[in-house]
Structure 1
Amino acid sequence: MSLADQVLAVNDDLPIRTDKPVHSGKVRSVYWLTEQDSRRLIKEKGYPVPDDAPLAIMVISDRISAFDCIWHGENDLQGVPGKGAALNAISNHWFNLFKQNGLADSHILDIPHPLVWIVQKAKPVKIEAICRQYITGSMWRAYEKGEREFCGIKLPEGLEKDKALPEILITPSTKGILKGIPGVPEADDVNISRQNIEENYSAFNFASPQDIAHYEKLLKDGFTVISDALQQVGQIFVDTKFEFGYVTDRSGQEKLIYMDEVGTPDSSRLWDQNAYSEGKIVENSKEGFRQFLLNHFPDPDILLNKERMPEREALARDNALPLDALMAVSKTYTDIAETITGKPVVMSNNPKQDIIDILQAQYGLID
């Protein structure tokens, strides 16, 4: 088996029975189950959801996206070995910890395979909920240029790069292009303030104004749970993105849950504590790969400048990255997953066939 065979690069062509189009994102693909299969599984497996809840199979790939492009490597390597399984294992770990701490449920009902979740359909809150404990990245770049207000929050003078903020900050941005909201540009991923959300809560898919405070509490409490646990294993939780949504529980009550992924190297910055105490930044997240790309190409402005998107897409399409660069990312992801969960990442020689076999034998979902 070659290394390329161990990578699940294409994840939207599995023969999973569905009567709707497969939704394929940068990393995950979602297969909506038929109403008949959803009802059958809820009954057979005893999932704690209403009998008519729509279910989906979510398959994570090993693709690597950075600067809004998908990258590939030499030897036809179309992703990073072990990346998908590492991301899922980390998210599963944190979602379980949130439950143990009485915070909120997630959308995950079952985990048939390291690359697969069975999820309940959620109504997403249209906010990228970002929480920051240190000033770095885009916030530092803006602060250095003289900006002192972020998402309606005023920052004091005298902050230093990569140092702790006076308190944990919530700096939300839009998820998707939202139209017709006063004061909010019609563009993806633009910063918004709490006031924007309060004045237009239903446009952001909140059920009530009270749920804004509830989402902030779940965000900060979830951040603290992960931060405390990471501290125990010598890691600093720098910043992260959470996503929330609404599902209906078995009794028909709507509730706010965590969804997508949490506390992973794709959605967060994680720094090595020992290195940081010696004045060095060692990234245990995708940030390390972003830095590699910025150093690898002679004109990093292509990667940073949104006006140069066609050039950036050509760069990603036409350049096979060195094998050792993608294997370094693989090691970062699998090592941090093992550090967090205490278990090695399970990798497969033929992930696609393994998924098909399990979904057929144990769930009866393959056509």
Structure 2
Amino acid sequence: MSLADKVLAVNNDLPIRTDAPIHSGKVRSVYWLSAADSARLIAERGYDVAADAPLAIMVISDRISAFDCIWHGEGGMNGVPGKGAALNAISNHWFRLFRERGLADSHILEIPHPLVWIVQKARPVMIEAIARQYITGSMWRAYAKGEREFCGIGIPDGLERDQKLPELLITPSTKGILEGIPGVPAVDDVNITRGDIEANFKAFNFSTEADIDRYETLLREGFEVIGDELAKLDQIFVDTKFEFGYVTDASGAEKLIYMDEVGTPDSSRIWDGPAYREGRIVENSKEGFRQLLLNHFPDPDVLLDKDRMTQRQALARDHALPTEVLMEVSATYTGIAERITGEPLSIADNPRAEIIDVLGREFGLID
């Protein structure tokens, strides 16, 4: 079996029983279960959710996106071997630690396969909750041009690129396009201030104004848990994005939870500690793949200039990356996953067949 056969590139055509359109994002696809199947699984599996809670099957792929494009390799390798399993394993590890340490639950109810989550439907908070411990990336580029205020927070002069910040910064942005919020443009991923959120907390889907403090606390505590654990591995937790939402448990109580993924190479920057102390940046996250792309193409500006998106999409569609590039990315993802979890990563030989088998045999969800 070739490496390409082990890659799950297409994840929105599985025969999972659903009566709703399949939602397919850059990496994950979501299959909403019928009300009957949701109720049956809640009863059979004993999930701590309301009896009528909508459930979904979330399947992660091995696709890799960067600069808002999906990339592929030579020989029909339409993703990165082990990437999906690595992302899920890392998120599962952090979510478990969060629960054990009393922070908050996640939307995940069960993990039937390394590429699959069973989740409950949550009402999302419409914020990309970003926390930064170091000045790098887009923040450094803005700082170098003279900006000293980020999301309403002032930072001092005299900082150097990749330097640790005086304190953890929370620099939120909008999740999706939000209409009618004074001072907040109706575009996706626009920076917002704490004041914007307080003045319009219902528009951001918070139940109460007090939950703004709660989300910031969960963000800080989650960042601290991950940062401390990575430090034990001599890795540096640089910055990250969390997402939050609301669910109702079996008793009818509403609670704020972590959603999506946490502390992964896709949602975070993770630097190698020994290299950093030597004055070098070695990425153990997707930022390394972005740098590979910038160095690979003779005209890297096409990847950075949003006005050249059509050219960028054509580049990603028509250019197969060398196999060794994708395998280098695979080594980064699988390597950091195994270091974080302390266990060998399980990579399916035939992921599609395995997913269909377990969801049919154990959960009765395959037609």
Partner Cα distance (1:308, 1:191) in 2:
23
Question: Unpaired segments of 5 or more residues in structure 2?
Answer: none
Partner Cα distance (1:97, 1:209) in 2:
27
Partner Cα distance (1:250, 1:322) in 2:
50
Q: 2:281 — aligned with what?
A: 281
Q: 1:342 — aligned with what?
A: 342
Partner Cα distance (1:186, 1:294) in 2:
30
Partner Cα distance (1:69, 1:198) in 2:
34
Q: Tell me, yes or no, if structure 1 residue 33 matches structure 2 residue 33.
A: yes
Q: Tell me, yes or no, if structure 1 residue 11 matches structure 2 residue 11.
A: yes
Partner Cα distance (1:126, 1:350) in 2:
36
Q: Tell me, yes or no, if structure 1 residue 217 matches structure 2 residue 221.
A: no
Deviations 1:245-276 (A, max 9, x none): 00001111111000000000000000011111
Secondary structure in 1 aligned to 2:330?
helix
| Correspondence 1:92-103 to 2 at 5 A | 92-103=92-103
Q: 1:359 — aligned with what?
A: 359
Q: Tell me, yes or no, if structure 1 residue 290 matches structure 2 residue 290.
A: yes
Q: 2:23 — aligned with what?
A: 23
Partner Cα distance (2:295, 2:272) in 1:
21
Q: CA deviation at 1:129?
A: 0.3
| Correspondence 1:145-294 to 2 at 5 A | 145-294=145-294
Deviations 1:82-106 (A, max 9, x none): 0000000000000000011100000
Q: Tell me, yes or no, if structure 1 residue 72 matches structure 2 residue 72.
A: yes
Partner Cα distance (2:181, 2:67) in 1:
27
- How many residues are treated as equivalent by the alignment? 367
Partner Cα distance (2:68, 2:201) in 1:
28
Q: Tell me, yes or no, if structure 1 residue 120 matches structure 2 residue 125.
A: no
Partner Cα distance (2:4, 2:179) in 1:
42
* Matched-pair identity in %: 74
Deviations 1:21-55 (A, max 9, x none): 00000000000001111111111110111111100
Partner Cα distance (1:311, 1:184) in 2:
30
Q: CA deviation at 1:187?
A: 1.0
| Correspondence 1:312-323 to 2 at 5 A | 312-323=312-323
Q: CA deviation at 1:239?
A: 0.2
Partner Cα distance (1:68, 1:253) in 2:
38
Q: 1:53 — aligned with what?
A: 53
Residue type of the alignment partner of 1:242: F
Secondary structure in 2 aligned to 1:12?
coil
Partner Cα distance (2:45, 2:311) in 1:
49
Partner Cα distance (2:193, 2:91) in 1:
27
Q: CA deviation at 1:234?
A: 1.1
Secondary structure in 2 aligned to 1:271?
strand
Secondary structure in 2 aligned to 1:357?
helix
Q: CA deviation at 1:344?
A: 1.1
Deviations 1:169-224 (A, max 9, x none): 00001111111111111111111111111111111111111100100000000000
Partner Cα distance (1:329, 1:254) in 2:
40
Q: CA deviation at 1:301?
A: 1.3
Residue type of the alignment partner of 1:52: D
Secondary structure in 2 aligned to 1:321?
coil
Deviations 1:290-319 (A, max 9, x none): 001111111111111111111111110010
Q: CA deviation at 1:225?
A: 0.4
Residue type of the alignment partner of 1:42: I
Q: 1:143 — aligned with what?
A: 143
Secondary structure in 2 aligned to 1:178?
coil
Partner Cα distance (1:89, 1:75) in 2:
27
The two structures have a TM-score, normalised by structure 1, of 0.99
Partner Cα distance (1:9, 1:42) in 2:
30
Residue type of the alignment partner of 1:256: L
Partner Cα distance (1:305, 1:210) in 2:
40
Question: Unpaired segments of 5 or more residues in structure 1?
Answer: none
Q: 1:133 — aligned with what?
A: 133
Q: CA deviation at 1:2?
A: 1.3
Q: CA deviation at 1:152?
A: 0.4
Partner Cα distance (1:13, 1:165) in 2:
45
Secondary structure in 2 aligned to 1:320?
coil
